[in-house]
Chains A and B, each alone.
Chain A
Amino acid sequence: MDLLTSLKISASGLQAQKKRMEAINSNIANAQVTRTAEGGAYRPKEVVFGSEPARDSFAEILEGEMDEKAQTVHVTEVESSNRPPVLKYEPNHPDADEKGYVAYPDINVMVEMANMISASRSYEANITALNTTKQMAMKDLEIGR
């Protein structure tokens, strides 16, 4: 129950949104990729968020009720989506199969852009929370001056 833990929580939010942004950027950049190290078309990445208690040490957990309540956020998994690739008829493409179809990743760039805006807004909200907490901590230093 202190402002430093609050800062930690906001920082975890920033980190999680940044990872989400990385995945989105990767999806946009690789939207047309038909050849990957694993073989086949690029598979879109999806991040999964999970929360966990903000405190981890034993002494901190002894502090009481707050421990269960204030929670940090983490990216628990970056999954490669199992969405089947989209087949396009391009017989002259080097990656075309015997029937002339090329497998492209099923990425809708518009959807990725919308996700990116959402991630950006969440990042900003966490920044605002962080700044507010910082100002409160600075105000503490004025007590008794």
Chain B
Amino acid sequence: MNVDDTTLRALAASLKFRQMRQEVINSNIANAETPGYKSKSVEFEAALARAVDVDHDGVMTAEDEKHYKLHTGGFSSLEPEIVESSNGVVSDDGNTVDMENEMASMAENKVMYDASVQLLNKKLALMKYAIINEK
């Protein structure tokens, strides 16, 4: 069994990005009434999906070895995008935080974070089982 496998790396990346998202959501909630503050969001799902793309469905083939290969499933270069996202809500003081939206995103983020931790535990339990039961 390969200890450095895709599942573990994908779950670790997912946890890391969800922590980032939590931080940005907290920042939005804290600054919900700061004049001129622009609401932000962390986008990582698409990038992570490309990195996890183990079947290389999305691979662009390179004819020449000098060509860059795209979408080859690299976790090392995986970076989330942090973008200014307004939901169309702009108050008089230029603030674009949509409080309801932030609370919903936070709830979702928490559930998905817990799910990732649970999956990580299952994966580790499986590896442990394989190690212990070798006879």
The reply to whether A51 and B22 contact each other, CB–CB distance below 8 Å, is: no
- Closest Cβ of chain B to A111, distance in Å, is 16
- Closest Cβ of chain B to A6, distance in Å, is 4
- Does A107 have its Cβ within 8 Å of any Cβ on chain B? no
With a CB–CB cut-off of 8 A, which chain A residues contact B32? 122, 125
Closest to A130 in B: B26
Q: Which of A32-40, A70-78, A81-89, A90-98 contacts B (4 or more CB under 8 A)?
A: A70-78
Q: Which of B45-53, B58-66, B70-78, B112-120 contacts A (4 or more CB under 8 A)?
A: B112-120
- Contact partner, A9, options B18, B30, B114, Cβ 8 Å: B30
- Does B69 have its Cβ within 8 Å of any Cβ on chain A? no
The reply to whether B117 and A6 contact each other, CB–CB distance below 8 Å, is: no
With a CB–CB cut-off of 8 A, which chain B residues contact A2? 19, 23
A50 to B32, CA, bound (A): 11
Interface of chain B, main secondary structure = helix
The reply to whether A49 and B33 contact each other, CB–CB distance below 8 Å, is: yes
The reply to whether A3 and B117 contact each other, CB–CB distance below 8 Å, is: no
A125 to B32, CA, bound (A): 10
- Does B24 have its Cβ within 8 Å of any Cβ on chain A? yes
Whether A69 contacts B103 in the complex (CB less than 8 A), given A1-B16, A54-B27, comes out as no
Report B's interface with A, CB cutoff 8 A.
Answer: 16, 18-20, 22-27, 29-35, 37, 40, 79, 82, 99, 103, 106-107, 110, 113-114, 117, 120-121, 124
11 contacts between A and B (CB under 8 A): A1-B16, A10-B29, A48-B35, A50-B34, A54-B27, A69-B82, A71-B37, A126-B30, A129-B25, A142-B117, A143-B124
